[in-house]
A and B are shown apart, each in its own frame.
Chain A
Amino acid sequence: MAIMNIDNNNTNHHNINNNNTNKTHILEVKDVSKIYGSLHALSDVNLTVEEGRWLSIMGPSGSGKTTLMNIIGCMDTPTCGSVHLDGQDITRLSLSELTKIRRDKIGLIFQQFHLVPYLTALENVMVAQYYHSMVDEKEALQALDRVGLAARAKHLPRQLSGGEQQRVCIARALINYPKLILADEPTGNLDEANEEMIMKLLHQLHEEGSTIIVVTHSPEVSQHAQTTVVLEYGKVARVVNNHID
């Protein structure tokens, strides 16, 4: 149950409203543009995501998906406009302040999994704990158990299949109880069976109340979300409500 306002124009708001305004806005993107030289990667993007919502961002290559995700994921700042995450203005923060926000509020899932190759599955989860606050092996093991990998905790990434690596990546993203889970093509490198398993996990997380934003090329992945935002040429082209809720 959430509210979502998607807008690419200040004067013309697209509102997707589930008639429940009790939930707080976890993310508010207002008039955000990102300009590289003469290239407008994003122009005047507006996006509001409420807590517990599952949103997918789709679009062809070069549509600005990655740029938007970098800004939402506190890895880049917009050229103009403002971004609020969990009530905090993150628009003009320094790199180190962004690092802190990223550490505390965001769980990242990557297409390439990005596990540290010389650390075991368990240690890969614990690395996120280490940078966040303190390591807790028991809790890390529980997180692996949750993604069905407790038995493979001591394996190195190269000893795990792609699907298993992605599940470790999810366990790592969850370990610090993030406000927002940001997934970049989470099934882009996986076969169908594994894709299904990962989507099932995301559903579970969503049901437990996690806010999820998935960036994807794939319409199949996208339709799992409550709402799909389609980007084209750096603007929000359309918003599709998938009528899941």
Chain B
Amino acid sequence: MVMNKNRRFITKTIFSSLIRRRSRIAVALLGITIGAAVLLGMVTLCYDIPRQMGQEFRSYGANMVFIPNNNQPTMTMPAIQAAVNLLPSEKVLGVTPFRYDAVRSNMQPYTIVGTDFSQVTKTSPYWQITGQFPTQAQQIMIGVDVANMAALKVGDKMMIAGKSKQGSRFEEEMTVTGIVKTGRSEDGFIFINLHDLSQLLEEDEQAEVVELSITASENELKQYIDTIKSNSTTIDPHLIKWVTQSETSVLGKLSSLLYLVTLVVLVLTMICVATTMMTVVMERRKEIGLKKAIGADNKSIAKEFLAEGLILGIVGGIIGAICGIIFAQVISTNVFGRSIMIEFYLIPLTIVISAVVTVVACLIPVKRAVEVKPALVLRGE
């Protein structure tokens, strides 16, 4: 009961001190708020930028390939599916199988490639396509070199002849629905739906190469590869090194830069709060002297100042967290053109860090405060 009355009284006086000296307090609060805002904003960006950049990087195309193991010519679709199922589904952006075979058209040899057009854009987003992907049997897409050589354009017909795996011959008239340009070997290929190709070749659906695009760091990718290797006997997974390595190195540098900035901001906040609190203590030397003269011990004085610091830290942390979310959102929208994903646990964490930093920053000023001599109030200054 005694403690309650006293605690209520001192809590009230601490709040009075904060409210009735609001112009002073506003400066300290501003410092803490900016610190907390930048902290939350930066950490959110630190978290989100690799994710954002990861997606940007995926536009460079696949970062993993499956090839057949044990000198087998192809992999079966069930084996591929089983391997893909070992990967975390939310990280797999696209899985594109490729089956290659030789055909002829107008006596010219061509490579025909069976693939899954719904996945191609995900693993090879750089493909420039005129027209559309084939959607039905008897439809094909051709590389730009093929189109030039055979003088074909979208909508034209093309006779394709070949030999099935069962030994029978086929000759089909196909409609060109699209022309693809990549600047690479794809420009010389004829593309067809994998399902339609397997019909022509009279075989089960299978693939010689599977390209995968996965949003994951190099280390995670290596882990996935180990998992697949230990679970699948027919599939040999590989990293596409030039993509993953440049991605990892750029993201790593970006992250360290952001963390460094965050650390600097944290230190600056601490200095700002410490200086403000120092000024507050200097201004309140008389009050501290008086309190000591009327019987306050060092512990009470320290507790009051630290409690003020704690309240400032929490209030500044809350306001700062709100500003930080807005700050991160604005940066993300302007720089990446994407909305940011807030890790919600970062909000209470920011408030706690802000409170701790403020209290730590108050320690030196509080030490000064308890050193004030009570005799100070007796001089008629």
**Residue ranges of A at the interface with B (Cβ–Cβ < 8 Å):** 66, 69-70, 73, 75-76, 96, 99-100, 102-104, 108, 110-112, 114, 116-119, 123, 126-128, 130-136, 156, 172, 176, 184-185, 188
The 6 closest A-B pairs by CB, nearest first: A103-B295, A118-B20, A131-B295, A75-B375, A114-B290, A135-B9
Contact present for B292 and A66 (CB under 8 Å): no
Question: With A114-B286, A114-B290, A119-B16 known to touch, is A131 a contact of B296 (CB < 8 Å)?
Answer: yes
> A217 to chain B: closest CB distance in Å?
9
| B79 contacts partner chain A, Cβ-Cβ < 8 Å | no
Closest-by-CB residue of A relative to B373 is A75
User: What is the predominant secondary structure among interface residues of chain B facing chain A?
Assistant: helix
Q: Which of B6, B10, B16, B378 contacts A118 (CB 8 A)?
A: B16
User: How far, in whole Å, are A118 and B304 apart by their CA atoms in the complex?
Assistant: 14
Closest-by-CB residue of B relative to A76 is B375
The 10 listed contacts between A and B (C-beta, < 8 Å) are A66-B375, A102-B374, A112-B377, A114-B289, A114-B293, A127-B13, A128-B295, A131-B294, A134-B2, A188-B380
Contact present for B5 and A134 (CB under 8 Å): yes
Taking A130-B10, A156-B20, A185-B380 as known contacts, 11 extra A-B pairs with beta carbons closer than 8 A to each other, sorted by chain A number, are A66-B375, A73-B293, A96-B298, A100-B295, A108-B377, A114-B290, A118-B19, A127-B13, A130-B13, A132-B295, A134-B5
- Per-residue CB contact flags for chain B residues 296-318 toward chain A (1 = under 8 Å, else 0) read 11101000000000000000000
Interface size on B, residues (CB 8 A): 33
Interface centre among A70, A75, A185 (most CB of B within 10 A): A75
Contact present for A116 and B287 (CB under 8 Å): yes
Closest-by-CB residue of A relative to B295 is A103
Contact present for B380 and A111 (CB under 8 Å): yes
Which residues on A sit within 8 Å (CB–CB) of B374?
75, 99, 102
| B379 contacts partner chain A, Cβ-Cβ < 8 Å | yes
| B233 contacts partner chain A, Cβ-Cβ < 8 Å | no
Contact present for B296 and A119 (CB under 8 Å): no
> B8 to chain A: closest CB distance in Å?
8
- Per-residue CB contact flags for chain B residues 97-141 toward chain A (1 = under 8 Å, else 0) read 000000000000000000000000000000000000000000000
